[in-house]
Amino acid sequence: MAKVLTSREEDYAQWYNDLVIKSGLAENSAVRGCMVIKPYGYAIWEKMRGELDRMFKATGHENAYFPLFIPKSFFSREANHVEGFAKECAVVTHYRLKTDEETGEIIVDPDAKLEEELIVRPTSETIIWNTYKNWVQSYRDLPILINQWANVVRWEMRTRLFLRTTEFLWQEGHTAHATRKEAEEEATQMVNIYTEFSEKFLGIPVLVGSKTESEKFAGAVETLTIEALMQDGKALQAGTSHFLGQNFAKAFDVQFTNREGKLDHVWATSWGMTTRMIGALIMAHSDNNGLVLPPKVAPIQVVIVPIYRGNDELPPIAEVANKMKEELTAFGIEVKFDDRDTQKPGWKFAEYELKGVPVRIAIGPRDIENGTVELARRDTLEKKVMPQEGIAAYIKALLDEIQENIYNKALKFRNASTHRVDTWDELVDVLENKGGFALAHWDGTQESEDRIKETKASIRCLLTDAEEEEGKCVVSGKPSKQRVVIAKAY
């Protein structure tokens, strides 16, 4: 297989696009701004979805499903919410097509106009809170802990596969609580789940914090976020959890009788993570040879490739390979034995390297004689000859080592790319030349934040675990008690 990727150093954006397409993750569709997620890419999403779903259910959440279409009037009930999403909404106005009698063209039937226009969901707060109104009467009905797996549509003008598409897949949690404290604890719990998932499952280290007033979710009181750093020095918002206060409950009149017998509005959260995390996975770990997938999210964790010349050499190799596959499968490892006779071993090696399979095993006639295999690991590209005996237990431990190594490499990069800056010039130097996260003092004003945005960067978050530190805002020179995280971002 010839070299198929533009190098990261030559053109990072093209490298990313090449990798998504040529590794078989996704491709552009006939609908502008939308993508086809191919089986290999969808297998990664299924792994991500499965792990997140397990984590949600372990904390008491249940899955449900709500309509794709939302009455336009629902959006007008929460002013900040509609303002935040108005420019991205796709609107359904008619429900029928017909053939033009004069031209024979298919046209929208002007007589089939909807009484009320429908929004294709950009997010589901409004339709869900209209539903919750019927579910809640008393404190005994709370909390409601619901998640849904769905697609959403946000009409993007500039799109990129996985990172920003007009339609994408996600999960969105929507919970209702009797007290403010419970809702705030829920929002914190969910951002912590996202943190654990990103770091322990995807191998992506993240910073945890809250968004500024101008960057928070439309309609939220507070937005908590996890921010990841990609290898080109740009940040990526990897997941968000929102404390919604009573805003949506008041907009949709969701009231309950509390323990004191008084009417009150419920307290709410929403939280979500999307298929853009596949983009994060690519940009956090991969290299010029292709994908580098942490074993926990890899659709194929181990591939076995036979090396033979004549068909008479294959049966003894296949016997050993299939036995090895059984042993590995018994350990819960996902294995593929690629005995296709349509491609040569070298082509297969390049293909699985491109697809980021964590461990590759090659077995030839000499290995059958010697009781060995050749083992290659994707994260370091190291190869070594190993005895067949005990190989399954060895690989099980090796996959854990690879998972940890991929995370540690990303963490080392992030730490090396995090810069404390004390002046405007130092901030600009990081943003324009070094890349990465800048930790800088900010005076908390919108004016200073707007100046930062003029550099095409933004305040990514106010760190949750940041210590108070006296300093001066890098923009205004006014007093500041905490550094914030500033970066250019996707």
Cβ atoms of 294 and 202 within 8 Å: the answer is: yes
**CA–CA separation, 382 vs 402, rounded Å?**
12
Residue length of the chain: 490
Q: Is 477 helix (H, G, I), strand (E, B) or coil?
A: coil
Q: How many CA atoms lie within 13 A of 359 on its CB side?
A: 30
Q: Note the pLDDT tens digit of each residue in 295-343.
A: 999 999 999 999 999 889 999 999 999 999 999 999 999 999 999 999 9
Q: Is 143 helix (H, G, I), strand (E, B) or coil?
A: coil
C-alpha to C-alpha distances, 153 to 37, 120, 121, 177, 301, nearest whole angstrom? 15, 6, 6, 28, 33
Residue 49 is classified by DSSP as: H
Domains identified in the chain and CATH numbers:
12-285 (3.30.930.10), 302-398 (3.40.50.800), 418-487 (3.30.110.30)
Question: E strands within 154-196?
Answer: 167-177
Task: Indicate whether this model's pTM tops 0.85.
Answer: yes
Cβ atoms of 27 and 39 within 8 Å: the answer is: no
DSSP helix, strand, coil percent of the chain (3-state; round to 5): 35, 30, 35
Closest CA to 267 of 329, 347, 205, 180: 180
Binned average pLDDT, 10 residues per bin, the chain of 490 residues: 82 97 97 96 98 98 98 88 87 96 95 97 96 98 98 93 97 98 98 98 98 95 98 98 97 97 98 98 98 98 96 95 98 97 96 98 97 98 97 98 98 98 98 98 98 98 94 97 96
Cβ atoms of 437 and 412 within 8 Å: the answer is: no
If one counts every other C-beta atom within 10 angstroms of the C-beta of residue 71, the result is: 17
Closest CA to 465 of 209, 282, 256: 209
**End-to-end alpha-carbon separation of the chain, Å?**
32
Cβ atoms of 485 and 229 within 8 Å: the answer is: no
